[in-house]
Chain A
């Protein structure tokens, strides 16, 4: 490639021959490659020293070589594109060789010594590196905000970036497992509240029924008259609360794992007993749906189309009141059993254990 470029250079044939003869191209190339460095970094003290040394020596000896150097250093502050530098190299090299040739003619070997120094200096730095200068830290940093660069204090900026890093770390560590666990914990809290609320509600409900029914349940018609507006809302609310409580109790014993759930039942685990009681309460409560609707649609037996016949009220109400009482007792007992060990949660234990038992393969590989 260099020979091709050389062909383009308008130099005399004899001179080129001479150059080839005295200094082969191989020996020229390192010097040529050095030139961009010299030109790019004119302000570094080493390079300046070398340049002045060379100038001094060449002033004495070679006026021609001096011109070649002034040409090189004249453009020092204006970095040129690499391509241009490359195309220009050979010409300068030839000039140099010419200078060296002249020096040989005069019998001076000093040019070679300078070359060695130059080689050393070029070895110390990478050839195409950016100018090496000591950076001056300033307190202001310009940050682009709203398509404008605004000055910001460096310390503030560092603080904010640290905060962002911290935020990103927190975000990255939030996995699907954490989401699942937080939902599980959330539901457990809701369940804990519902257990207490349901127990209180069931007790209130049975108290209201007994108060309205009066002594020896003689005031059945009064109870029906007063309670008919309450019957369906009470039934609906009872189902809602019972459903949530049952699911919560099942969660605690991890019913889906049949063997574990059975073991819990056999060992009379409080959570297992509570879930059994809740389920029984649910069945009993649901079985009273028909009576509940009958109470809801109550009209005095004297009216046409009434569902109630006179004298049959007590017969229908008696089992309904007893069932409500049993439901209230079951719910209250369940609440007591669950509040005995409120932290008991087999689902969560298993959820954690399953993951720890089987680490991903990548982690295993790293450990081994």
Chain B
């Protein structure tokens, strides 16, 4: 069974990482006095996304549903989060590489092209969807139903095996 204190701690960590991500997405364009500042911010942001993905998977592994062998059920229920997290990580890394490549020589250059603008819009939109799905998943994983045997789980189990 999931302990309340450990769940609170994990939830706090997840929200901190999410908030850092939102902060960098919002203000990274402002903090470009030197290219290295943006580089460090972007590297930490990508690591934060990766950490969040690892944490959510560890939470999945901790559930009774996963331990009962119903991995598919869990992944089906949270496929939105998994897909969006992966997409957001890929988009972020791609965008960061592109922008840093263009701004490395001079951070105050006007670097925008249509392609970069499109990628920027996609990355920022997927970011918002990722925040929503990730937050929802993190909060829903506090549901005691995932950590104990229940009628719901039996029904799902029977449904999978029939």
A positions within 8 Å CB-CB of B:
174-180, 183-184, 187, 232-233, 235-237, 239-240, 242-244, 246-247, 250-251, 255-256, 282-283, 286-287, 289-290, 293-294, 297, 307, 347, 351, 354-355, 357-361, 364
Contact A361/B151 with A180-B142, A286-B125, A307-B110 known, Cβ cut-off 8 Å: yes
B1-47 CB contacts (< 8 Å) to partner A: 2-4, 7-8, 11, 15, 22-23, 25-27, 29-30
A289 partner, pick from B26, B108, B112, B142, beta carbons under 8 A: B112
A240 partner, pick from B22, B125, B133, beta carbons under 8 A: B22
Tell me the complex Cα distance, A157–B94, Å: 65
Which residues of B sit under 8 angstroms from A351, Cβ to Cβ?
A: 139-140, 143
Which residues of B sit under 8 angstroms from A289, Cβ to Cβ?
A: 29, 112, 117, 120-121
On whether the beta carbons of B112 and A175 are closer than 8 Å, the reply is no
Which residues of B sit under 8 angstroms from A235, Cβ to Cβ?
A: 29
Which residues of B sit under 8 angstroms from A179, Cβ to Cβ?
A: 4, 7-8, 11, 142
21 contacts between A and B (CB under 8 A): A175-B144, A177-B142, A184-B139, A187-B135, A233-B30, A236-B29, A236-B30, A239-B25, A255-B132, A256-B133, A286-B120, A286-B121, A289-B29, A289-B112, A289-B117, A290-B112, A290-B117, A293-B112, A351-B140, A354-B145, A360-B145
| Min CB gap A267→B, angstroms | 21
Q: A175-B144, A246-B132 are in contact. List 17 more A-B contacts (CB 8 A).
A: A177-B143, A187-B135, A232-B29, A236-B30, A239-B26, A243-B22, A244-B22, A282-B128, A283-B125, A286-B121, A286-B125, A297-B108, A307-B110, A351-B139, A351-B140, A354-B143, A364-B151
Which residues of B sit under 8 angstroms from A239, Cβ to Cβ?
A: 25-26, 124
Interface of B is mostly: helix
Which residues of A sit under 8 angstroms from B25, Cβ to Cβ?
A: 239, 243
B82-140 CB contacts (< 8 Å) to partner A: 108, 110, 112, 117, 120-121, 124-125, 127-128, 131-133, 135-136, 139-140
Which residues of A sit under 8 angstroms from B149, Cβ to Cβ?
A: 360-361
B110 partner, pick from A243, A293, A357, A359, beta carbons under 8 A: A293
On whether the beta carbons of B135 and A232 are closer than 8 Å, the reply is no
B67 within 8 A of A: no
Tell me the complex Cα distance, A183–B108, Å: 40
On whether the beta carbons of A358 and B132 are closer than 8 Å, the reply is no
On whether the beta carbons of B121 and A283 are closer than 8 Å, the reply is yes
Which residues of B sit under 8 angstroms from A355, Cβ to Cβ?
A: 143-145
Contact A176/B144 with A236-B29, A290-B117 known, Cβ cut-off 8 Å: yes
On whether the beta carbons of B4 and A176 are closer than 8 Å, the reply is yes
On whether the beta carbons of B127 and A243 are closer than 8 Å, the reply is yes
On whether the beta carbons of A180 and B112 are closer than 8 Å, the reply is no
Tell me the complex Cα distance, A55–B152, Å: 78
Tell me the complex Cα distance, A364–B112, Å: 62
On whether the beta carbons of B136 and A175 are closer than 8 Å, the reply is no
Tell me the complex Cα distance, A250–B135, Å: 11
Tell me the complex Cα distance, A251–B140, Å: 12
B72 within 8 A of A: no
Tell me the complex Cα distance, A293–B154, Å: 56
Tell me the complex Cα distance, A282–B125, Å: 8
Tell me the complex Cα distance, A293–B133, Å: 30
Contact A180/B117 with A256-B133, A282-B125, A359-B150 known, Cβ cut-off 8 Å: no
| Min CB gap A128→B, angstroms | 43
Which residues of B sit under 8 angstroms from A240, Cβ to Cβ?
A: 22-23, 26-27
Which residues of B sit under 8 angstroms from A357, Cβ to Cβ?
A: 152
| Min CB gap A198→B, angstroms | 13
| Min CB gap A95→B, angstroms | 65
On whether the beta carbons of A175 and B4 are closer than 8 Å, the reply is yes
Tell me the complex Cα distance, A247–B2, Å: 27
A247 partner, pick from B80, B110, B128, beta carbons under 8 A: B128
| Min CB gap B109→A, angstroms | 9
On whether the beta carbons of B132 and A287 are closer than 8 Å, the reply is no
On whether the beta carbons of B11 and A183 are closer than 8 Å, the reply is yes
Tell me the complex Cα distance, A360–B64, Å: 13
Which residues of A sit under 8 angstroms from B127, Cβ to Cβ?
A: 243
On whether the beta carbons of B29 and A293 are closer than 8 Å, the reply is yes
